[in-house]
Structure 1
Amino acid sequence: MAIKLFSIGLFDEKDELTSINMKIFPDHTPLIHVDIEGFELSTLKLEIRWDYENDSELMDLIYITRYLQDKGAPHIGLTMPYIPNARYDRINNDDEVFTLKYFAEVINSLHFDYVDVLDAHSNVSLALIDRVRQIDVAPLIQKAIDDFKPDVLFMPDEGAHKRYSKMFTLPSTFGIKTRDWRTGEIKDYFLAEQNLVEDRRVLIIDDICSRGGTFYYSSKLLRDNGATSTGLYVTHCEENIANGNLLNKEKSGIEQIYTANPLWHRDMTTSVYSPLDEIKVID
């Protein structure tokens, strides 16, 4: 279930308040039941948690929030670890739709008391969303560091290096790349400090992974410059990672992948092996 409802206690403890039952009509519109019988919403502080899996959930969020407001809930916060459209934080051509801006306007229209997010892709998201608060990502990255035991940290670009390097005492460096904005193709890529990674275990750190081309090239770059092994931490990881080369250790050279927020169905259970099982999820 991607959307859950919690009550917030006196000391900010969170308890799941009630079940949200969601079904789909034959025309693909939602049928939503929120069982609030016996709860006096006007006396409660509520929090909606949205673990994003797909865009259709935005409509569910709107319906559930407005329902609670109509029922008299005066205080509703939102925890939204992943900000949809966060990577589309600028436009470079007149035919591009600034989806992040319009998404933020929808979230703002719901008038949440606060919006908690985890590892926003850029400050643009933080500027566009009202009453936004950042959840500290450092303890999650530290768990990956404790497990992988790197000698050096690597960030794929200078912006990521500025965000993450100051969180830790380990030495760190970053990659410098040129990319075709329309195609996403990486044209050139090199290390800022070439001698730092030689004969070292290196953990790559960034906020999000889709197919993973950037990290594939990062791992190759590091190994070409003498790194003995590479690992990868990404806060948000799309299921599309399975369609790239990252999970093929022989091709990518990446020994272990960590994520804090997998962007695929968390309640799916299967006895069939999936390559996504190779990714360590950090709680």
Structure 2
Amino acid sequence: MSIKLYRRILNNRSEIISDLRKFPDHTSFLHVYAKDIACWSIEIRWDYENDAELMNLIYITRHLQNKGVPNLGLTMPYIPNARFDRVNNYDEVFTLKYFAEVINSLHFDYVNVLDAHSNVSLGLIDRVRQIDVAPLIQKAIDDFSPDVLFMPDEGAHKRYSKMFDLPSTFGIKTRDWRSGEIKDYFLAEQNLVKGKRVLIIDDICSRGGTFYYASKLLRDNGATSTGLYVTHCEENIINGNLLNKEKSGIEQIYTANPLWHRDMTTSVYSPLDEIKVIN
């Protein structure tokens, strides 16, 4: 179940029993088994898997508001449509903007998010608060013990490099917007990674082409080994080469928020502990 409800009492919270099922025609059949909720502070936790869940979020939120819940928050670690934070061609639909409008129409008292893809998402969502991602990345650093941190682009370098004392550098890439194909990729500081263990850090991984090329780039410039931390990891990673050590050269992959629920059968992939909301 990707949507859960919690009663918040000071710094503690207890799960509210709910049931999210479907009728044979695939419409929602929902129950919230809680009485006297009109005096409760409630938090909805949405661990995104697909867009269809948005309808259940709307139904449950409206139900709780109609019951008179005085304080209602949303924790949504991953922001759906976060990648589509700009429109470059006339035929492209600005899905992030319209998704944010739907979330804003629900009038949550706060919206907790983890490692937003860009400031555009943060600017579009009302009363948004960022969960601190540094402790999660630190777990990957503690396990992998890198000498140098690498971010796939300058924007990611600005976000993450100041969080840690380790030396860091970034890649400079040219990408085709429509196809997503990387045209050119090179290191900002070539001498920094020679003879070093390097941990690649970024916010999201799909198939993982960027990280595949990043690992190759680092090893071509003398890195002895590479690892990868991504906050959000899509199931599409299994369709790329990242989980194959021989092809990718990546020794270990860490993620804080897998965007699906299934067991991974490879020792390369390491989901970190459940995300802790830090207010």
Distance in 2 between residues matched to 1:14 and 1:135, nearest whole Å: 17
Deviations 1:192-212 (A, max 9, x none): 000000000000000000000
1:281 aligns with 2:279: no
- Number of the residue aligned with 2:33: 35
For the residue of structure 2 that corresponds to 1:189, the secondary structure is strand
- Number of the residue aligned with 1:8: 8
1:211 aligns with 2:207: yes
- Number of the residue aligned with 2:19: 21
For the residue of structure 2 that corresponds to 1:89, the secondary structure is coil
Report 1:111-130 matches (<5 A): 111-130=107-126
1:132 aligns with 2:123: no
Deviations 1:259-280 (A, max 9, x none): 0000002xx56xxx734x6411
Runs of 4+ in 1 over 2 A off after TM superposition: none
- Number of the residue aligned with 2:180: 184
Instruction: Report the alpha carbon displacement of residue 24 of structure 1 after superposing the two structures with TM.
Output: 1.4
For the residue of structure 2 that corresponds to 1:65, the secondary structure is helix
Instruction: Report the alpha carbon displacement of residue 118 of structure 1 after superposing the two structures with TM.
Output: 0.2
For the residue of structure 2 that corresponds to 1:169, the secondary structure is coil
- Number of the residue aligned with 2:276: none
- Number of the residue aligned with 1:96: 92
For the residue of structure 1 that corresponds to 2:143, the secondary structure is helix
- Number of the residue aligned with 2:151: 155
Deviations 1:147-183 (A, max 9, x none): 0000000000000000000000000000000000010
For the residue of structure 2 that corresponds to 1:245, the secondary structure is coil
Deviates more, 1:18-27 or 1:177-186: 18-27
Distance in 1 between residues matched to 2:25 and 2:241, nearest whole Å: 38
2:102 to 93, 96, 106: 106
Report 1:56-95 matches (<5 A): 56-95=52-91
For the residue of structure 2 that corresponds to 1:126, the secondary structure is helix
Distance in 1 between residues matched to 2:246 and 2:118, nearest whole Å: 32
Counterpart residue identity of residue 24, structure 1: K
Instruction: Report the alpha carbon displacement of residue 42 of structure 1 after superposing the two structures with TM.
Output: 2.2
Distance in 2 between residues matched to 1:43 and 1:93, nearest whole Å: 48
Corresponding residue pairs, total = 273
Distance in 2 between residues matched to 1:161 and 1:233, nearest whole Å: 13
Distance in 1 between residues matched to 2:221 and 2:13, nearest whole Å: 47
Distance in 2 between residues matched to 1:234 and 1:257, nearest whole Å: 8
Distance in 2 between residues matched to 1:106 and 1:76, nearest whole Å: 16
For the residue of structure 2 that corresponds to 1:32, the secondary structure is strand
Contact 2:61 2:106 in 1 (8 A): yes
Report 1:159-170 matches (<5 A): 159-170=155-166
Distance in 2 between residues matched to 1:55 and 1:154, nearest whole Å: 32
Instruction: Report the alpha carbon displacement of residue 102 of structure 1 after superposing the two structures with TM.
Output: 0.3
Instruction: Report the alpha carbon displacement of residue 15 of structure 1 after superposing the two structures with TM.
Output: 1.4
Contact 2:42 2:72 in 1 (8 A): yes
For the residue of structure 2 that corresponds to 1:88, the secondary structure is coil
- Number of the residue aligned with 1:233: 229
- Number of the residue aligned with 1:264: 260
Instruction: Report the alpha carbon displacement of residue 34 of structure 1 after superposing the two structures with TM.
Output: 1.0
Q: List alignment gaps of at least 5 residues for structure 2.
A: 274-279
Instruction: Report the alpha carbon displacement of residue 30 of structure 1 after superposing the two structures with TM.
Output: 1.1
For the residue of structure 1 that corresponds to 2:54, the secondary structure is helix
Distance in 2 between residues matched to 1:168 and 1:222, nearest whole Å: 20
Instruction: Report the alpha carbon displacement of residue 133 of structure 1 after superposing the two structures with TM.
Output: 0.2
What percentage of residue pairs aligned between the two structures are identical? 78
Instruction: Report the alpha carbon displacement of residue 103 of structure 1 after superposing the two structures with TM.
Output: 0.2
Distance in 2 between residues matched to 1:158 and 1:209, nearest whole Å: 17
- Number of the residue aligned with 1:175: 171
Distance in 2 between residues matched to 1:282 and 1:214, nearest whole Å: 22
For the residue of structure 1 that corresponds to 2:107, the secondary structure is coil
Counterpart residue identity of residue 282, structure 1: L
Contact 2:251 2:268 in 1 (8 A): no
Q: What's the C-alpha RMSD, in Å, of the aligned pairs?
A: 1.0
Deviations 1:22-46 (A, max 9, x none): 2111211111111113xx2222111
Counterpart residue identity of residue 14, structure 1: R
